[in-house]
Each structure stands twice: as structure tokens, then as C-alpha cells.
Amino acid sequence: MAAALSVIMTFLVLTHTVLAHRQPQIFQNTGGIRGTSFIDHEDTISGFHGRTFLRDNIPYIDIPDKLVQDVYYYRWTSLQRNLRYVTAGIGYMCTEFVHPVGYAQAFGTIDAAAGHQIDEARWLRNTAYADDYIQLYTRGPADPLQYTQWILDATSRRAMVTGDSEFLANQLHGMIRVWGLWDPYFNSTVGLYYYQPVWDAQELSLPGFVADPGNTNWDLRKDGPDTYRPSHNAYMVANARAIARAASIAHDDLIESNFSRIADELEAAMYERLWAPEQEFFLGVDYPVFRPVPNGSKLTSFLPQMDVIRPDNPELTRLTGREQVGLFPYRFGIGLEKSYAQPALDAMFDPAGFLAPYGPTTLEIRDPWFAATKPDPNYSAIYRSGVTNATAEQYYQYLHTYALTQQKNGKPYVAESHSPFGDVWSADSRNHSEHYDHSTNNDDVITGLLGILPQPDDTLHISPIVPTNWTYFALENLPYHGHLVTVLYDKDGLRYNAGLGLTVYVDGEIIHHGEDQFAVVPIPPPVVVPHDEKPINIAANPDGPGQYPTADATFTYPADYSYKAIDGVVYYDQVPDNRWTDYTSPNMNDTLTVHFARPHNVSSVTLALYSDISRGGSVDLPRLIEIYGSSGHVTTVDSSTMLMSNDHNEISFDTVETTFVAVNMYRRSAATWVGVCELEVWTPPPTGPTYFAVDAHLTGANTQVLFDMSSTATSNGAVVGGVKADSNVAFSGIWSNGHSTRLTLSYANTGNTVVSISVEVNQMPQTVLTLVPSKSKYATVATKITLAKGKNYVSLRGGSDEADIQYETLKID
């Protein structure tokens, strides 16, 4: 491959018609940042749908191993399928299953996967994905206690990729709140955390078999007894260190030293209690006691004392048997000394240990309870510690095995779990497991194989772990500290024509050249996109019909669903399904309409157009599209404009004020129909001081948008009504510089009772608003609140079943 350096703008605009083929405005403020194009940016991704996302977001690679490379590109598409736009204000999250499962928490979140997902998403150019997702945990309603997790650690390490350390510092108090939720599962005598293995995302793991050897209690066998686990405790050490780091950036010495001490003590307890010298491994310890078990996020049921092998375990006897979770601590920097790391490494390469054709296994193969589920290699930490005899070839062997595992029918693929010995997924169900997102892969390629070690200061560290016979590799347009970094290694200089050895570019300029594969290079200070300027999608609805925005269509194929066009999920597969189509419609044109609760100023519509015509289906691009709003016809996109199938098409027009956007699509022929995976309407975010209650996320059996012509807050009289005891009117995306401010609620209370409403800021109750009866008029009530720096969640929780309460606006000034 020979390529000349050409400088490209990151916000690639492909056409100058009304169609701008890009995520709207995302990179508007990165001003002047440029990358390189040694790798063919189109060819590499031509086999995938949703190429605009890939082009705008992913770092490209070029390596001698096609299998690892193909899986790398596939994994960006599987991540994309799992990115869900929740609602304006909240922004993005990441699902573990593309169709959220019943046990998922708020908006389909499952915290077990979040650390992996943040580790992957931190390498996307659009920082909104991970910013929003992190804040859904630190400030929003996502549940960080359902499963064990290392979200705080991932948040801290991510800041070393974005260079946005202020964002990390701003999360400090939210991180401490998340930490504190785990207090009930800490035994201070032992100095460790415990949980059931099933909630450590390891159902059917060794403790369950040891506790139920006779297989008489399936739940116990599947879930396992409470156990002090090396995985969970390592996550907590890493989470505590993340808090200490956030505190250090925030110049809060007390919190920093407190959490450094907490981390050190927890780590010391791990060596003392969980390291088994006789088995040379980190092991779990049973903790069979009476304690509440989580049921979803709620502590509702109690697990009886279990009659296990050790009915009570005062001596803290360790399990016999080495599990894969004993390999996890190294990833978090724990056990990186020869006496701990060498035996772990040896076990990974022992055919009776964890080594398998599609390994590592979850339990040693020699163990009588041997069974296997999810792969999760980490080896780079042990390799780099230099305390063992690990080789780059061994690292590569595991990475290649991992890529070999992520296959189905000869193509990259991920489902829930894989057999260690056969080329078969052991958990993979149709319309459910596809593109399962509960593992790290691309972060391993970037930080492990290709050796980018994120740093807190203005340096770039390159330390690849590649086999000695590799003569080339490239990592191109990697976002790092708000710059685009390209790393080329070309032993003989023939592949990239950019010289022999290692060449490093930052924003299109050569900043380093050397023969060695290793480098530490100073780079310019971070460039951070202001968070409060990121556009929002006002069309997304996380709840389905019953709340605004709503979607309807003049015709919908019975197996499709107009709501799918505004569910925030974008992927173009036939199965799992995610679309509206008018397949079988008798009309030559059909109209898909999204209705907002109140008028908005709108200047574009982005359509993720579905087509399966090249996959044997009958849905094709529209021949012509007309857009209508409240004031009539807005624009027409005719055949002179190239529409892209299975991708985003942004249609821009002069701003109109409207309560709906109607998209009238004409079929190309009598034998083809039209389809939309997602209809997005991106607008600038509200900046206050006034926020409309009808824009908030509403929960409660009766809580909904009503139209009250006596309200003048909006021109269509939209207000929130049905505010009852079970209500939560949750405003998100309220921006603040982080200080005390006045909150004024405009409401009507038509009952005779005084009603108290709890005001929660970022999930913490702060104050109470007293809503005195206001007859049929709207009145205001004010209070002082303290907001955090950046985006805030402000919830008005509660109401009254006796009174009729309506909300107009919240004013923050």
C-alpha cells in the first residue's frame, strides 16, 4: 500500500446540496484539527452499514493480521448498534443487548458492561457518546449497583484519552455517591467487598458449584453464594484510585488522601485474604450470611442462610479451584510482581490451565467443575510490568485467539458466550444475542497491540506489543487529547512511503521520526469541545408510545413499528429489527410524522434510511422526499440529490417553528417500498434560564403532557399534568457553572391541599418545594439549589393523589 500524505478535515462534508452527510455539527468546534489518509478510509469500511458514523468516528488500522483487523472494524459497528440516544438532555447510552432485556435498568442500562463500553467508546472522535453515558451513572438514574463494575476507573482512564481532565474533576461528587452505594456490601472486619457471582456477571461460576455440589438448588448453583471476589475487589480498588485522581485534579487533598488510603487498604486486604499461596492465584472466598440481595436496583428480597460446604466461614477459607476472575486484578494494576504475575501467566499458557483454542476458559480446565463462558483476555498489563518472562508473541497469541473466537460463519461476530474448544457460540439466540456488547476488543488493539498508553500530561507514549516479525503497522486518526494522532511503523519504508521505522503525526504534522517502535513524544495541550454546545436530538423517545415525542405513519407494515423510527437506536439489520417501513402499502407515497409536545425551531431532519433491496428485500430508498411542518411545505429532496441507503442523510433547510415534522416519501417503483431506521431532529441545546416541563422525562402512571389553553408558557398550551405521588418529572441537560442558584417552578395546584415536592439534584435530594393551592391559575414557587459544574439532572419527585398539579416551566437563574 502506497499513499501520499493528504490532509483531510475531520468533519467531512460530502455534498453541497441540502444533504450534508455527517452527524450534524458534532465537530464544529474542533476547529482546524486535521488527520492523515495513508489507509483507504472508504474501502476498509465498504462492507458495513452506517458508514457515516464510522468515517466520522473511528481510528483506522493497518496490520499484518487480517483476522484481528477485520474483527477490529466489525467491533466499531457492533458498538455503534448499541449506542442509543435516550432523550434530549440525557443524550447517549450504550446497551448490552440491542433489544434491551427485562432485567436492564434505566433506559436499558446494564452496569456490568459499562466499563468495557467506556473503554471502547473513549476512542471515538465524538466525545458525546461517553460523556453522556458516564453522566448517566454519575448524575443520572442508571444503576451502578446492579452488577459489580469499574465505571469510575474507566471514567478516569478515559480522561487521559480525551485530555478533558476538567470533565473528570466535575464528576467527583457523583463518583463518591456511586462509591457509597456499595457500603452495604463491605465487611469492615474482613476489609473486602462481597457479592453473589451472578451479579459479578459470572453466573454458573465455581462458588455456585461448590455451594451446591448435589445440584439440588438451581438458583444457588447459578447465582452462587456471597463471595469475596478478586474481580469485584480489584474493581473497587481501581474505582477508589479513580476518585483519588479526580480529587487531585479538583485540588481536594482531603478526598484524595482518603480515597488513596481506602484503595491501598483494600488492595492490601486482597493480598492478605484472596491471594492463595498454596494455589498461587487470586481466589474467591465464600461469605454465606443472611443479607439483602439486589432485585433489579431495589433491595426487596432476602437470601436465607445457605447450607453450603462451609455453613459459616469464620476462618475465611478460600475456594479450591482457579477461576478466570483471578486473572482480572492484573488489569487494574494489582499483583504486578513476579510472585503473583508469573503463576498467572503460566496458568494462561498451561493446556490444563486456561489455554484453549477459543480461550481463556473461565475456570481452569483441570478443575472438576470446569465449564466455560465469556472470553476476556488481559495480558498486556502483565507483559508490560516486565516482571515475568511474557513475550509479545504470547500477547499476540491471545489476541489472535480472541479474534478467532469472535467469528460466525467465517465472519466477525459476537454473541453472549463461546465454547472454549469448538468454533461455536454457547449462548447465541436469534433476535437477541447478536452483536452482544459486554467486552473490550478495540481498546486491546489500540492500547495493547499498537501500544498507545494514555497519559495525564501532554505526552504521547507508544509502546506496541507486536510480534518480532511484523514489518509494518499503522494506527490512523486516533483521537487523543482532542488531536488526531497517526502512528506508522514501516521497517523498510515501502508500505507507507513515509520513511523507515516509526513516524508519528499529530493533526497532520510529523512530530516524531525514529527507527525504534517505542516513543515518548510531547504533544500540544488538549483541545476540548465545549460540552454545552453539543446539539441535541429532540425526536428521541425512550419510553414508547404514551409520551412525547410520538411517531405515526400513513401506513406501517404490521411487523414494523413507527416508534422504532424515534427509539434512539440506529442499525440497519434485517434481524434484529429496528425500523419503520411501509412495505405492502397500497400508497405510492407514505408519510412518517414525529410530533413534539411544544413548538421547536427546526432547521434539519436526519433520516437513517433503511434499504434491504441488495439483501433480497423490497425496501429501497425513496425516489423523492417532501418535508412538512406546522406552516406547510418546508423542503423537497428530489432525485438530483444522492441519498445514502443504510446511513444517515441530513436534510437541512431554513429554520421553521413547528410542532411536528412530517416526512412524505415516494416509492421508487410499484415493487419497492420505503423504510426509516431513525428520524432525528438535531437542534442547539437549550441554555436556560427557562426549561419547559414538557421537555422533561416523565414517569408516573398519570404523568403526561396536557394542553391547557390557560397556560401561556408555550404557544400550544403544553404543560405537564397528572403529577401524583408516584411522579418524577426529570429535567436533564441543565447547564451550570457549579454554584448555588435560584430555582423557580411555575405550577398550578387546583386542589385544596398544600403539596410537597422533593427536589433532587443529580439523584441526591436537596430541598422541598411547597406548592400551595393556586386555584386555577399558574403560580410560582422558588428555592435555592446547588448545581454541579456541567450538565445536571434536576428531578421533581412526588405530587399528590388528592390535588391536580400541573407544571409549566422551571427557571434556573
Kindly state whether residue 587 participates in binding ligand NAG, applying the rule CB under 6 A.
yes
Nearer to ligand NAG, 307 or 346 (CB): 346
> Any idea which residue has 428521541 for its cell?
540
Decide whether 177 or 408 has the Cβ nearer to ligand NAG: 177
Q: The C-alpha cell of 553 is what?
A: 405513519
Please state the closest distance from residue 591 (CB atom) to ligand NAG, in A. 4
Choosing from 46, 409, 469, 640, the residue that interacts with ligand NAG (CB under 6 A) is 469
Selected from 373, 439, 442, 589, the binder of ligand NAG by CB under 6 A is 589
> Rule CB under 6 A: is residue 176 a binding residue for ligand NAG?
yes
Q: Report the residue number, 99 or 668, with the smaller CB distance to ligand NAG.
A: 99
State which residue, 353 or 482, has the beta carbon closest to ligand NAG: 353
Residue 457 backbone phi and psi in degrees, to 5: -110, -175
Considering only CA atoms, which of 785, 716, 718 is closest in space to residue 757? Answer: 785
Q: Which is nearer to ligand NAG, 64 or 386 (CB)?
A: 64
Q: Under the criterion CB under 6 A, does residue 560 sit at the interface with ligand NAG? A: no
Q: Distance between CA atoms of 473 and 487, rounded to whole angstroms?
A: 8
- The Cα 434–Cα 804 span in angstroms is 46
User: Least distance (Å) from ligand NAG to the CB of residue 342?
Assistant: 5
Cβ neighbors of 558 (< 8 A, separation 6 or more) are none
Q: 778 CB contacts (<8 Å, ≥6 apart)?
A: 710, 711, 713, 746, 747, 748, 806, 808
DSSP string for residues in 567-628: SSB----SSS---EE-TT-SSSEEEEEEEEEEEEEEEEEEEEEE--GGGT-SB---SEEEEE
Q: Among candidates 40, 90, 89, 26, which has minimal Cα distance to 69?
A: 40
Q: Closest by alpha carbon to 609, among 575, 635, 576, 571?
A: 571
Q: Does 470 bind ligand NAG (CB under 6 A)?
A: yes
Least distance CB 571 / ligand NAG (angstroms): 13
Indicate the residue among 163 and 448 with the shorter CB distance to ligand NAG: 448
Cis peptide bond upstream of 689, omega within 30: yes
Q: Which residues contact 324 (CB under 8 A, 6 or more apart)?
A: 354, 360, 361, 362, 363, 376
For residue 494 the three cell numbers come to: 515501502
**C-alpha cell, 271:** 493480598
List the interface residues with ligand NAG, window 672-701 (CB under 6 A). none
- Please report whether residue 463 would count as binding ligand NAG according to CB under 6 A: no
- Among 15, 317, 320, 389, interactor with ligand NAG by CB under 6 A: 389
What's the helix, strand, coil split of the chain in %, to 5?
25, 30, 45
Q: Does 429 bind ligand NAG (CB under 6 A)?
A: no
Does residue number 659 form part of the binding site for ligand NAG (CB under 6 A)? no
Among 456, 599, 717, 751, binds ligand NAG (CB under 6 A): 599
Distance CA 126, CA 290 (A): 46
Q: How far apart are CA 751 and CA 256, in angstroms?
A: 50
**Stretch of 20-28, 52-60, 120-128, 293-301 contacting ligand NAG, by CB under 6 A:** 293-301
Report the site for ligand NAG in 716-745 (rule: CB under 6 A): none
Stretch of 457-465, 537-545, 571-579, 642-650 lying at the interface with ligand NAG (CB under 6 A): 571-579
Residue number with CB closer to ligand NAG (428 or 577): 577
Asked if residue 567 binds ligand NAG (CB under 6 A), the reply is no
Under 8 Å between Cβ of 812 and 689: yes
**Least separation, in Å, of the C-beta of 90 and ligand NAG?**
20
CB of 330 to ligand NAG, least distance (A): 7
By CB under 6 A, tell whether 391 contacts ligand NAG.
yes
From CA 620, how far away is CA 614, in angstroms rounded? Answer: 9
Q: Does 103 participate in binding ligand NAG (rule CB under 6 A)?
A: no
Least distance between ligand NAG and beta carbon 307 (Å): 17
Q: Is 295 in the site for ligand NAG (CB under 6 A)?
A: yes
The span from the CA of 81 to the CA of 50, in Å, is 9
With CB under 6 A as the contact rule, which of the stretches 29-37, 294-302, 731-739, 792-800 interacts with ligand NAG?
A: 294-302
Which residue, 35 or 454, has its beta carbon nearer to ligand NAG? 454
Furthest-apart CA pair in the chain: how many Å? 85
Q: Which of 191, 467, 501, 773 binds ligand NAG (CB under 6 A)?
A: 467
Please, what is the minimum distance in Å from the beta carbon of residue 300 to ligand NAG? 5
333 in contact with ligand NAG (CB under 6 A): yes
Cα 381 to Cα 336: distance, rounded to the nearest angstrom: 8
Nearer residue to ligand NAG within complex by CB, 321 or 448: 448
C-alpha of 291 from chain center: 31
For ligand NAG, which is the closer residue by CB, 393 or 515?
393
Which of residues 24, 144, 321, 448 is near ligand NAG by CB under 6 A?
Answer: 448
Q: Are strands 91-94 and 83-87 parallel, antiparallel or unpaired?
A: antiparallel
Looking at beta carbons only, is 300 or 584 nearer to ligand NAG?
300
Contacts of 184 (CB under 8 A, 6+ apart): 291, 292, 299
Tell the smallest beta-carbon distance from residue 803 to ligand NAG (Å): 28
The C-alpha atoms of residue 446 and residue 58 are separated, in whole angstroms, by 12
Q: Is residue 95 part of the contact set for ligand NAG (CB under 6 A)?
A: no
Q: Is 124 left (phi over 0), alpha (psi -120 to 50) or beta?
A: beta
What span, in angstroms and rounded, lies between the C-alpha atoms of 465 and 387? 15
User: Which residues sit opposite 411 in a β-bridge?
Assistant: 408
Near ligand NAG by CB under 6 A, which window of 47-55, 478-486, 584-592, 776-784? 584-592
Residue 29 found at the interface with ligand NAG (CB under 6 A)? no
- Under rule CB under 6 A, residue 808 binds ligand NAG: no
- Terminal Cα distance for the chain, rounded: 58
Range in contact with ligand NAG (rule: CB under 6 A) among 438-446, 644-652, 675-683, 729-737: 438-446
In terms of CB distance, is 37 or 463 closer to ligand NAG?
Answer: 463
C-alpha 539/C-alpha 624 separation (Å) is: 22
Half-sphere exposure in the Cβ direction for 595 (13 Å, CA)? 13
Would you say 108 or 700 has its CB closer to ligand NAG? 108
Q: Cell digits for 717?
A: 398550551
Q: Does 554 bind ligand NAG (CB under 6 A)?
A: yes
Query: Binding mask 344-383 vs ligand NAG (x if CB under 6 A, - otherwise)?
Result: --x------------------------------xx-xx--
Residue 69 binding ligand NAG, by CB under 6 A: no
Window of 500-508, 598-606, 719-727, 803-811 that interacts with ligand NAG by CB under 6 A:
598-606
Q: Does 304 bind ligand NAG (CB under 6 A)?
A: no
17, 258, 463, 636: which one binds ligand NAG (CB under 6 A): 258
Residue with cell 412525547: 548
Burial status of residue 528 (CB atoms within 10 A of its CB: 0-12, 13-18, 19 or more): middle
Contact characters 610-639, ligand NAG, x per CB under 6 A: ----------------x-------------
Q: How far is it, in rounded angstroms, from Cα 437 to Cα 130? A: 15
Considering the complex, state which of residue 81 and residue 331 has its C-beta at the smaller distance from ligand NAG: 331
Which one-letter DSSP state was computed for residue 55? H
**How far apart are the C-alpha atoms of 476 and 471, rounded to whole Å?**
17
CA distances to 445, 624, 661 from 715, rounded to whole Å, are: 53, 32, 17
Q: Which residues bind ligand NAG (CB under 6 A)?
A: 64, 99, 176, 180, 187, 189-190, 254, 258, 289, 295, 300-301, 314, 316, 331, 333, 342, 346, 377-378, 380-381, 389, 391, 431, 440, 443-444, 447-448, 467, 469-470, 554, 575-577, 587, 589-591, 599-601, 626, 657, 664
